[in-house]
Amino acid sequence: MARVELHNIVKSYGDQRVVNGIDLVIEEGQFVVLLGPSGCGKTTTLRMIAGLEQITDGEMYFDGRLMNHEAPERRGVGMVFQNYALYPHMTVADNLSFGLESQRRRGSRRKARAQERARVLQVARLLEIDHVLDHRPKELSGGQRQRAALGRALVREPDVFLLDEPLSNLDANLREKMRMELSRLHDEMPVTTVYVTHDQGEALTLADQLVVMHEGKICQAGQPGEVYSAPGTTFVAGFLGSPGMNLWELPGAPSSDAGASRGVHLSGEARGEHVPGEGPVVVGVRPEHLKLVAEGEHCPARVDCRVDVVENLGSHVLVHAKIQSSKQASLVAKLETSAGLRRGDRVAFGAQAEHVHLFDARTGQRLGHRLARERTSVGV
């Protein structure tokens, strides 16, 4: 197992910077997930860790050893790609042990071969494919094939395990099952892992450390629960969650009067220590934190709107609504039942103060209470 450090890592193709200064420390045995939209540089970052792409600038260390110019086969990494390729003419057992011969020491061949077989069996048992070791890939289910690809990387006892969207070829049920198995696998065999996905479910459930990327940069890194409950930027807020956080821009101060003109009302409690007159802000509330509010009922944050579409998704209902007195602004609330709502109904949704997030509209940065106090004290 290795501790991986990335210091200001840059990757350019010609004059295009696709990874733009990444700083990240991955502790020994940690499961890190890189999450972000298509093209944000996840695969490129993973390939630089594997040594399959040259690093343009910055330093990368494994256990304090500089890796920038180390050959891929000398890094001790195991990698599973999105389109994992198994050799179709070989059995699962041969696929798992393929290439291990090159690692055998001279003079102790028989012993090495026995150890190799034991290792293949151990990994196959862990992945529950030990009963199909003499099958060929075409005789396996999608999930078994996927596990064989994982197994092939694990048999080599990598110091760092790199996975690039390994579950994206599977259907939803199998994905969920494999996600659980990966989690169990990591508990039983905690190898330092970097896992790339754009599936939030995978990211939130698997990660010890969640890294949200956007346009070649890290927007936020932390425990999944923390990143979800306190997103650092409007991008992270809108990207995480399904659907993502509602974000409404308010001109000037988010005082109840200013907000009222846009149909969004915030009491002093919901504004926290953010002082009116500090410039435009973005107010954020997650869909699951919105509740229907009766007329005249007090709620720290209240949004007046008109119901547009009611989507019943079985386990919950999504209510899409247009905010009154604003042509563009809309809202989505996640409710347990449709509460008899229909298109055209005028309603108010509300949220408790602790569920109201404020961001600087110009920078997109979260306005924490501390930050608000600092700004106030310097009189901005």
Ligand X SMILES: Nc1ncnc2c1ncn2[C@@H]1O[C@H](COP(=O)(O)OP(=O)(O)OP(=O)(O)O)[C@@H](O)[C@H]1O
Which one of 42-50, 237-245, 294-302, 344-352 is the stretch in contact with ligand X (CB under 6 A)?
42-50
1, 30, 35, 44: which one binds ligand X (CB under 6 A): 44
Which one of 41-49, 69-77, 96-104, 217-225 is the stretch in contact with ligand X (CB under 6 A)?
41-49
207 touches ligand X (CB under 6 A): no
Angle at CA of residue 225, ends 291 and 10, nearest 5°: 125
Length in residues, the chain: 380
Q: What one-character-per-residue DSSP string does 98-156 give? A: TTGGGGPPTT-HHHHHHHHHHHHHHHHHHTT-GGGTTS-GGGS-HHHHHHHHHHHHHHT
Instruction: Provide the minimum distance between the beta carbon of 44 and Mg ion in the complex, in angstroms, as a whole number.
Output: 8
Pick the closer one to Mg ion by CB: 18 or 281: 18
Pick the closer one to Mg ion by CB: 47 or 145: 47
> What is the C-alpha separation between 357 and 182, in angstroms, rounded?
33
Pick the closer one to ligand X by CB: 38 or 328: 38
203 touches ligand X (CB under 6 A): no
| Residue 49: count of CB within 10 angstroms of its CB | 24
Nearest alpha carbon to residue 167 among 192, 190, 185: 185
Copy the structure tokens of residue 92.
């699962």
Instruction: Provide the minimum distance between the beta carbon of 167 and ligand X in the complex, in angstroms, as a whole number.
Output: 13
Pick the closer one to ligand X by CB: 215 or 278: 215
Select the binding partner of residue 38 from Mg ion, ligand X, none (C-beta < 5 to 8 A, by kind): ligand X
Instruction: Provide the minimum distance between the beta carbon of 370 and ligand X in the complex, in angstroms, as a whole number.
Output: 33
40, 124, 270, 356: which one binds ligand X (CB under 6 A): 40
Task: Find tokens 């939130």 and name the residue.
Answer: 204
Contact (Cβ atoms closer than 8 angstroms) between residue 228 and residue 241: yes
Which one of 39-47, 61-69, 128-136, 330-338 is the stretch in contact with ligand X (CB under 6 A)?
39-47
Instruction: Provide the minimum distance between the beta carbon of 20 and ligand X in the complex, in angstroms, as a whole number.
Output: 10
12 touches ligand X (CB under 6 A): no
Copy the structure tokens of residue 102.
């090159």
Three-state DSSP class for 240? coil
Copy the structure tokens of residue 88.
């179709």
> What is the C-alpha separation between 263 and 266, in angstroms, rounded?
10
> What is the C-alpha separation between 316 and 243, in angstroms, rounded?
12
30, 43, 97, 200: which one binds Mg ion (CB under 5 A): 43
42 touches ligand X (CB under 6 A): yes
Size of the site for ligand X (CB under 6 A): 11
Q: Which residues bind ligand X (CB under 6 A)?
A: 13, 18, 36, 38-44, 198
Q: Which residues bind Mg ion (CB under 5 A)?
A: 43
